[in-house]
Protein backbone atom coordinates (compact mmCIF):
# COMPACT_ATOMS: atom_id res chain seq x y z
CA UNK A 1 0.00 0.00 0.00
CA UNK A 2 1.39 3.43 -0.98
CA UNK A 3 1.89 6.52 1.10
CA UNK A 4 -0.92 9.06 1.01
CA UNK A 5 0.46 12.37 -0.19
CA UNK A 6 -1.01 15.75 -0.97
CA UNK A 7 0.29 18.86 -2.72
CA UNK A 8 1.45 22.05 -1.04
CA UNK A 9 2.19 25.31 -2.86
CA UNK A 10 4.50 28.24 -2.17
CA UNK A 11 3.04 31.16 -4.12
CA UNK A 12 6.08 33.51 -3.84
CA UNK A 13 8.43 30.79 -5.19
CA UNK A 14 5.88 29.41 -7.68
CA UNK A 15 6.71 25.92 -6.44
CA UNK A 16 4.63 22.84 -5.65
CA UNK A 17 5.65 19.94 -3.42
CA UNK A 18 4.01 16.58 -2.64
CA UNK A 19 4.26 15.67 1.04
CA UNK A 20 2.76 13.04 3.30
CA UNK A 21 -0.09 13.83 5.66
CA UNK A 22 1.85 13.00 8.84
CA UNK A 23 4.58 15.66 8.46
CA UNK A 24 2.90 18.20 10.79
CA UNK A 25 0.22 20.88 10.57
CA UNK A 26 2.25 23.76 9.07
CA UNK A 27 4.54 23.24 6.10
CA UNK A 28 7.40 25.60 5.28
CA UNK A 29 8.80 26.10 1.79
CA UNK A 30 12.24 24.47 1.40
CA UNK A 31 13.37 27.39 -0.80
CA UNK A 32 12.24 30.50 1.11
CA UNK A 33 10.95 29.25 4.48
CA UNK A 34 7.50 30.84 4.07
CA UNK A 35 4.38 28.84 5.02
CA UNK A 36 2.92 26.78 2.18
CA UNK A 37 -0.77 26.30 1.32
CA UNK A 38 -2.28 22.81 1.18
CA UNK A 39 -4.03 22.48 -2.17
CA UNK A 40 -5.11 18.83 -2.27
CA UNK A 41 -4.08 15.62 -3.93
CA UNK A 42 -5.66 16.34 -7.36
CA UNK A 43 -3.56 19.46 -7.98
CA UNK A 44 -1.62 19.97 -11.22
CA UNK A 45 0.65 23.04 -10.93
CA UNK A 46 1.19 25.53 -13.76
CA UNK A 47 4.70 25.88 -15.13
CA UNK A 48 6.91 28.19 -13.10
CA UNK A 49 7.18 30.69 -16.01
CA UNK A 50 3.38 30.82 -16.46
CA UNK A 51 2.67 34.08 -14.60
CA UNK A 52 -1.02 34.14 -15.58
CA UNK A 53 -1.53 30.57 -14.35
CA UNK A 54 0.00 31.41 -10.97
CA UNK A 55 -2.18 34.55 -10.66
CA UNK A 56 -5.28 32.46 -11.35
CA UNK A 57 -4.11 29.90 -8.78
CA UNK A 58 -3.54 32.66 -6.24
CA UNK A 59 -7.10 33.96 -6.69
CA UNK A 60 -8.49 30.43 -6.32
CA UNK A 61 -6.50 29.68 -3.17
CA UNK A 62 -7.32 33.03 -1.53
CA UNK A 63 -11.02 32.35 -2.21
CA UNK A 64 -10.70 29.00 -0.42
CA UNK A 65 -10.87 26.72 -3.47
CA UNK A 66 -8.83 23.50 -3.19
CA UNK A 67 -8.11 20.57 -5.53
CA UNK A 68 -9.33 17.51 -3.65
CA UNK A 69 -10.64 14.29 -5.17
CA UNK A 70 -14.00 12.89 -4.19
CA UNK A 71 -15.49 9.53 -5.05
CA UNK A 72 -18.92 11.18 -5.29
CA UNK A 73 -17.91 13.70 -8.00
CA UNK A 74 -16.14 11.32 -10.35
CA UNK A 75 -12.39 11.43 -10.66
CA UNK A 76 -10.81 14.82 -10.06
CA UNK A 77 -11.62 18.08 -8.34
CA UNK A 78 -14.18 19.34 -10.87
CA UNK A 79 -14.10 22.56 -12.88
CA UNK A 80 -11.47 25.21 -12.10
CA UNK A 81 -10.88 28.36 -14.25
CA UNK A 82 -7.55 28.47 -16.09
CA UNK A 83 -7.35 32.03 -17.45
CA UNK A 84 -7.66 35.49 -15.93
CA UNK A 85 -10.57 36.30 -18.25
CA UNK A 86 -12.51 33.30 -16.87
CA UNK A 87 -11.73 34.42 -13.31
CA UNK A 88 -12.81 38.01 -14.04
CA UNK A 89 -16.10 36.80 -15.55
CA UNK A 90 -16.79 34.65 -12.49
CA UNK A 91 -15.91 37.45 -10.06
CA UNK A 92 -18.33 39.75 -11.90
CA UNK A 93 -21.00 37.00 -11.79
CA UNK A 94 -20.49 36.56 -8.02
CA UNK A 95 -20.81 40.31 -7.42
CA UNK A 96 -23.89 40.57 -9.63
CA UNK A 97 -25.76 37.60 -8.12
CA UNK A 98 -24.47 37.68 -4.54
CA UNK A 99 -23.19 34.12 -4.80
CA UNK A 100 -20.07 33.40 -2.69
CA UNK A 101 -16.88 33.80 -4.73
CA UNK A 102 -15.62 30.27 -4.01
CA UNK A 103 -18.84 28.78 -5.38
CA UNK A 104 -18.87 31.02 -8.46
CA UNK A 105 -15.26 30.07 -9.28
CA UNK A 106 -15.97 26.32 -9.35
CA UNK A 107 -19.35 26.51 -11.12
CA UNK A 108 -19.03 24.70 -14.49
CA UNK A 109 -21.25 27.17 -16.39
CA UNK A 110 -21.83 30.85 -15.66
pLDDT values of the chain reduced to their tens digit, one per residue, 110 residues: 456 788 999 999 999 998 876 656 688 999 999 999 999 888 899 999 999 999 999 999 999 998 887 655 555 567 888 899 999 999 999 999 999 999 999 888 76
Specify the pLDDT at position 108.
80
What residues does each domain of the chain span?
5-106
Beta bridge partners of 10: 15
**Please, are residues 5 and 20 in contact by the beta-carbon 8 Å criterion?**
yes
Report the distance separating Cα 109 and Cα 103, nearest Å.
11
**Please, are residues 86 and 79 in contact by the beta-carbon 8 Å criterion?**
no
Sheet order of strands, 5-10 included: 15-20, 5-10, 37-40
Specify the pLDDT at position 78.
74
Amino acid sequence: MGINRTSYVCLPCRASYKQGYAAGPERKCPRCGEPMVGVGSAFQPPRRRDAEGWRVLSVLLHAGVRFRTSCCQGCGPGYRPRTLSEVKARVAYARRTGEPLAEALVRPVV
